[in-house]
Amino acid sequence: MKPFIILLLSCVASLAADTGVRMISGLSTNAEMGVVHLEETFTRDGQTNLVRKTSLKDGIVTGRVQRFYHDGEVVAVHLFVSSPAYMARESFSTRASSYSVSLDFSPSKDIERVIITGKNGVLDGFTATNRVFYPASNSDLETGRL
């Protein structure tokens, strides 16, 4: 299983490289609790713009924290927690910042996009699939196709 995860992460990193975004990932385990932690850090132009920490138990996602950054500053946090003992919970919060954060929602009311803006317009953007956010490509940001 571990070689498969490493291979998968290598492929994802290769795909991310074509968008102007770089990704570094690392795995750690808590053998006592049977939990695997995956941390992925995305950068654009050498600046961290997204850090995603995912916890898995028995192959099932039990929690995910995604922190959105701009210019070294945390501007928003998305949290998802799931457990057999209670219903899944999800939250999105912004931090006091000189940047604005806006959300676009799908018809099913899931977050589709996160957009970070400043005085000069759109600074960064992220798209989501199944509550997992990815930095938009440089070309999508430049052309406004976000």
Q: Which of the pair, 76 or 143, is modelled with greater confidence?
A: 76
Residues 6+ apart with CB under 8 A from 79: 63, 64, 65, 66, 89, 90, 91, 92, 93
Q: Taking the chain, what is the end-to-end CA distance rounded to the nearest angstrom?
A: 35
Q: What is the model's pLDDT at position 16?
A: 44
pTM for this entry: 0.83
- Quote the number of domains for the chain: 1
pLDDT of 78 > 80? The answer is yes
Residue 30's domain comprises: 2-143
Which tokens is 121 given? 């317009």
Measure Cα distances from 48 to 13, 21, 110, 131, 141 in Å.
15, 10, 25, 20, 16
**Residue 81, Cα to own-chain centre: how many angstroms?**
15
Q: What is the model's pLDDT at position 135?
A: 96
Quote the CA–CA distance of 35 and 37 in Å, as a whole number.
7
From 5-19, 37-51, 83-97, the region with the lowest mean pLDDT: 5-19
Rg (C-alpha) for the chain, rounded Å, is: 16
Range 109-115 average pLDDT: 94
